[in-house]
Chain A
Amino acid sequence: MSKHLINLADIDRDAIRELLHLTDRFVEVSQRPIPKVPALRGRTIAMIFFEDSTRTRMSFDLAAKRLSADVIDFPTHTSSLSKGESLQDTVDTIRALGVDALVIRHASDGLPGEVAEAVGETISVINAGDGLNAHPTQGLLDAYTLCQHFHGTAGSEASLSGIHIGIVGDVKHSRVARSDLAAYRSLGAKVTIVAPPELQPTDLDDWPVDITDDLDAVLPSLDVVGLLRIQKERMDETVVSSIDDYIERYGVTETRANKMNDNLVILHPGPVNRGIEIADTVLDKRANVLINQQVTNGVAVRMAVLFRLLGSGIEID
């Protein structure tokens, strides 16, 4: 039982299903003439982003505001942290201010979990991405987007059973891939990891899925291609020996797209490196590229998470 959301791998299928079902409600709220409810009036949520983020941060911000919560930004670059204050002291200070939840992104694996341990049950901690470890709300929104695409809504028993999903790209450096995998497997999807050998995860035991380096071989059997961003900032220049070679083997080029089944769904967590993971023309013209839907659903998923932790009075099992 927890007041926190740290890693989807640590919560069971029922808890994931409940969050996705709750997301159905907030998708509806988001479509109203006035897409805002008073559910979290008087609650305060602090955004603590040690890594740059535009999308995730804006999405959490909007989710909080649509629930009528107040949001404060903790400026990590100009704060006392840069003056040598310890993280623990900073968290203690923010807690003493009377904040109800911390949304934390950090480059170190496991840091949000450590903060959650430190604050106990007094306030909620939500992981907005830690190192290569987890990005639970991204996993939820990707799973929700697929449930919505294939079934209309998540419903009370969300399932991706019978769906074959390829997670394609830099899996090794991807917290998105880890959280997606946890969500997809929990909902019964078949998952195949597609990555060049040097970008395959090294902790293979933790990845009980098929792994291949040949996208074209597996492509005909896939229902979904979940592209990952090539994260130049997270790797040495030497790792991907040649971007052109990567595009040739793993990019959704126009040629490759033409060979794809029309029903094949494409996801990407953004921001897209146009011309690398996916070609301009494919991105702009092809049907079933659900990238904007992912962004829209991201707000509803985060509303569900915030309401579940702060408003429902029930902890996540």
Chain B
Amino acid sequence: MADRERRMTPPYGGVFVARTTVLDAAQVHRALTRISHEIIERNQGLEDVVLVALQTGGVEIARLLSRLLFEIDGVDVPTGTLDVALYRDDIGLRPVMPEAETDIQIDLGGKIVVLVDDVLFTGRTIRAALDALTDFGRPRAVQLAVVIDRGHRELPIRPDFVGKNLPTRRDEVVDVNPEGVLLGEMRK
């Protein structure tokens, strides 16, 4: 699970306890394969497509997507990472620290950026990411790919590519990793 989510979910510093397996490894792989096809279909190929993974939960997912895109279309899609801490709207309200490196080597001007994250929840991380992206150029389009959309949006943001829509309670926690998706909660 992303350290970000672990730290932001009450009780703070708790331990994740899984209750249900939502997707197993094969199902995650199948979902990512479908998303890869959808990305190619939507953009009529992979020309100008760039993957930008949100730190930290999106990085492994973007790596898998990039491999699948290569297997399907033979294109090595440029991939970057983005940490949005410095763009968050809750700086000063709770502890915010950049977690990991931002590494975007190319000018995003004119590109189709596919933001990749593990879980879409309130939408505030994506809001921050959209602001951050503008500092790296003016993309032609920005699309959003997530493994799980768990609802509870607080902003008018929607994903373009979704692995699975998962109804959740606010206090539940979703753990996405390549071995599967677990639903549970944090316990002290």
Contact = CB atoms under 8 A, between A and B. Distances in A.
Given A25-B83, A38-B86, A33 B101 contact: no
Contacts of B136: 32-34
Contact of B91 (A25, A28, A36, A39): A39
A314 B87 contact: no
Contacts of A104: none
Given A37-B87, A39-B87, A25 B101 contact: yes
Contacts, number: 53
Chain A interface size range:
20 to 34
Contacts of A188: none
A48 interface: no
B87 A38 contact: yes
A36 B135 contact: yes
Interface stretch (A223-231, A250-258, A278-286, A305-313): A305-313
Contacts of B91: 39-40, 311-313
A314 B95 CA distance: 6
Contacts of B86: 25, 29, 37-39, 67, 307
Contacts of B137: 33
A31 B154 CA distance: 33
A142 B136 CA distance: 29
Contact of B101 (A28, A38, A313, A314): A28
A34 B83 contact: no
Contacts of A28: 101-103
Contacts of B131: 38
A28 B98 CA distance: 12
A312 B95 CA distance: 5
Interface in B124-179: 131-132, 134-137
A32 B101 contact: no
B96 interface: yes
A34 B94 CA distance: 26
A313 B96 contact: yes
B92 interface: yes
A34 B97 CA distance: 20
A22 interface: yes
Contacts of A38: 86-87, 131
Nearest to B91: A311
A312 B96 contact: yes
Contacts of A61: none
Contacts of B87: 37-39
B96 A24 contact: no
Q: Which are the 8 A-B pairs with shortest beta-carbon distances? A: A37-B86, A34-B135, A39-B86, A25-B98, A313-B95, A311-B91, A314-B95, A312-B97
Interface of A: 22, 24-25, 28-29, 32-34, 36-40, 67, 307, 310-314
Given A34-B134, A311-B92, 4 more contacts: A67-B86, A307-B86, A312-B97, A313-B94
21 contacts: A22-B98, A25-B83, A25-B98, A29-B86, A29-B102, A32-B135, A32-B136, A37-B135, A38-B86, A38-B87, A38-B131, A39-B87, A40-B91, A307-B86, A310-B92, A311-B91, A312-B91, A312-B97, A313-B95, A314-B95, A314-B97
